[in-house]
Amino acid sequence: MTDSPTYVGQPLDRIDGRLKVTGSARYAAEFRAPNLSFATLVAASIARGRVRSLVTTFAERAPGVLAVITAANMPRMPRPSVPPAGDSSPLLDREIRYSGQIIAVVVAETHEQAQYAAELVHAEYDMLAPSANMERELARGFEPNTGNAPPSSKRGDVQSGLAAASTRVDAVYRTPTYHHNPMEPHATVAIWNGEDLLAYDATQGVSNTAQNLAEQFGLAPENVRVVDPFVGGGFGCKGQSWPHTPLAALAARVVNRPVRLELPRRQMFFTVGHRPETRQAETLGSDASGKLAAIRHQAFNHTSELDDFLEPTGNTPSMLYSCANVEVTQHLVRLNLGSPTYQRAPGESTGNFAHETAMDELAVRLRLDPLELRLRNYAQSDEKTGHPWSSKSLRECYAAAAQSFGWSQRSAAPRSMRDGRWLVGYGMATAAYPANFRPAGAKAQMYSDGSVRVLCGTQDLGTGTYTILAQVAADTVGVPISKVRVEIADTRFPDAPTSGGSCSATSAGSAVLMACRALRGRVLAMALADEGSPLFNLKASDIETRDGVASARQAPARRMSYVEIFGRYGKRVVEQEAFAEPGRERGGGGGAPQGTEQAAKGGSGQYSMYAFGAHFCEVRVDADLGTVRVARWNAAFALGKVLNAKTLRNQLQGGIVWGIGMALEEKSLLDERYARYVNSNLSEYHVPVNADIPEIAIELIPEKDEFVSPLGAKGAGEIGITGSPAAIGNAIYHATGRRLRELPITLDQLLV
């Protein structure tokens, strides 16, 4: 390897950027096949009840219609329901449990014909009143059995801690239902060839989708191939399989032709998940100096009649600050809504809003600077697990962001800062998110022209995965990045985890690092063992590789290019495959470690691994109209090794933009009479636009973490949104003196 990275850390442009801006990048719905047909879903218009009759005659007679598939005529599937999606079963039965539940699939020659015929399917129902108000159903709340770590936790004696506290905050915080709304709709193109199934699917996890399809259709895993080279945003809703994917494959089998099924925007509000509504009651107690004596966090979120989806809001209050007495309880409430799912920073984004708002309230009651309160409760270790941090540079984040923002100029009293008609407020909050590292494989190949090909079953959601993997490969092997070709998101390649939980860079990147390290070792081994080679009798550690040339560190004249090595030994291609997992790393041959313990002991539970950051923002509130504008934003993050400074900042800025939307604009509006979302489109589901966003200044704190993964990087996809809604709410309080505990914060709340 080179002495110092040439590409890793540099703010390189995305290598797939030109494909995207020229329209050459193909997304799932854009793949074609001979004799392609088109499918449209028919959704239930009630939220609770039973289908009394389903008339499909008119649809079947419509022009171009090839089939109308219902529960009555669908082929039997070996295993129609596959976790974790609560409603992965296509055409469940006649029982309706939520509005938008799929009751039929229409397949036609064209997309327009399928849409028209779907409108001709007529259902009659025995309708019951749906349950759609979580607050009214809290008494039916239950603690879920998640199958892994329990959602509730406790340490110390909270009652005693609260009794001894001199200052308390006791409040309820609410977040609404949110929908993901990626620009690319969910879509699947399904193609059968005998018992082999090929699916082009808009997914965050090709391997997970393939596994589910294999189980649902009773196929051997090797008979299912899933491909998705470009994902037009996912944010969590494409992280699991939903009913439309197996239904596309089912329809293709029924009509014996390839089928494309693409969801319209409206159906994406009902059938592919959402962030559930939360109600979080939080109690903080402290002594007169601000040292936390007790934390109690009691949360509810809604789930469907079909699953037990938990939004783990208690993760943040259980570990973020030092406190001896902590109790977290979490409960679910069943409603007649579709299954909730993961949405960018699930649990941390919603839980952090409650916890960081409560901390701000405590600071106000103590007449203490909000930043100083956090520093007085700085956690030197993860007190939930008792483990030390693998690395933690949160103090440095606070200092850097506060300095660049000008926090010291803040006047403490609410409504004390003004600029003309605008009330000016400063707010801050802490950001934290787990540094996830999951098992991943990769293959690296070198060809006789010195080029390198990297294969990995990961995905690029628009985050820059293609680019960072190329950077890692180029530096590890020692070739120009122009000589590296990255191919991902195909189940023919080595398995990698679903792209969620900010794990792709760390997991896939570590696998690529190890595969390329093994590849370099194997290629060099040929020259090191050859008496006629200028590199003969050197050790691999004595060799530096740069720009496709291997040379002795102490004698640079002893050199040999990769092209020369391949030509001398008559090789056309050399390849190595490696697998990275927490606690161990494996790589095949050529000097790669075999079964050695990796530096990241976190996999064996010795360290708690988190990314940390700090948000500081300025808001301006119109004193007469209540209009809120976010005027400035400074944030700092410590994320281990920086792989690409440009794509990293892009991810962090994107998360903050999401936080602004979460705090001020986004809300899925439910008509409780029918349990239907009424703003199920992008004209009425408000999201931030460019005019809503100020310049977002991001500072990256240098941090070395020897334990988090072989690569040493921490993910950045989620952490930007954690803390940002609370920072806005805290700034609005400082500007106006009004404490608002329910999102989104809208001008009507400020005018009351």
Catalytic positions, please?
A: 718
Q: Write the CB contacts of 733 (distance below 8 Å, at least 6 apart in sequence).
A: 360, 364, 414, 425, 427, 739, 740
DSSP designation for 186: P
The tokens describing 699, both together, are: 């500072």
Please provide the DSSP assignment of 409-468 as one string. G--SSTT--EETTEEEEEEEEEEEEE-----EEEEEEEETTS-EEEEEB---SSSSHHHH
Assign 3-class secondary structure to 22-72: CCCCCCHHHCCCCCCEEEEEEECCCCCEEEEEEECHHHHHCCCEEEEEECC
Q: Which two tokens stand for residue 33?
A: 């096949």
DSSP-H helix ranges across 574-664: 645-664
Our CA dihedral for 668, 671, 672, 673, rounded to 10 degrees, sits at -160
Q: Tokens standing for 318? A: 């259980």
Tokens of 43: 């959704």
Instruction: Enter the DSSP assignment of 138.
Output: G
Contact present, 96 and 42 (Cβ < 8 Å): no
Report the alpha-carbon distance of residue 299 to residue 329 in Å, rounded. 6
Residue 301 CA from chain centroid, whole number:
19
Q: Rounded to the nearest 10 degrees, how much is the dihedral formed by the CA atoms of 371, 377, 378, 381?
A: -160
Q: Nearest CA to 99 among 673, 739, 504? A: 673
CA distances from 326 to 330, 353, 434, 452, 598 (A): 13, 18, 19, 52, 33
CB-CB contact of 224 with 71 (8 Å): no
Residues 6+ apart with CB under 8 A from 17: none
Other CB atoms within a 10 A radius of the CB of residue 638 amount to 25
Helix (H) or strand (E) holding 106, with range, is strand 102-108
Q: Are 460 and 508 in contact (CB under 8 A)?
A: no
Angle 684-686-690 (CA atoms, 0-180°, nearest 5)? 130
Say if CB 440 and CB 496 are below 8 A apart.
yes
Half-sphere exposure of 320 (CA within 13 A, CB side): 29
- List the 122-127 sheet strands across, edge first: 95-96, 49-55, 122-127
Tokens of 310: 């938990």
Single out the residue of 588, 585, 539, 545 nearest to residue 565, CA to CA: 545
Q: Cα(295)–Cα(349) distance, rounded to whole angstroms?
A: 18
SS3 content of the chain, % helix, strand, coil (to 5): 30, 30, 45
Which residue, among 77, 75, 70, 76, has the nearest Cα to 93 in the 3D structure? Answer: 70
DSSP 3-state of 196 = strand
Query: Which three-class secondary structure state does DSSP give residue 565?
Result: helix
The rounded distance, in Å, linking the Cα atoms of 202 and 210 is 12
The span from the CA of 496 to the CA of 458, in Å, is 5
Contacts of 719 (CB under 8 A, 6+ apart): 345, 431, 432, 433, 502, 611, 612, 613, 637, 639, 652, 655
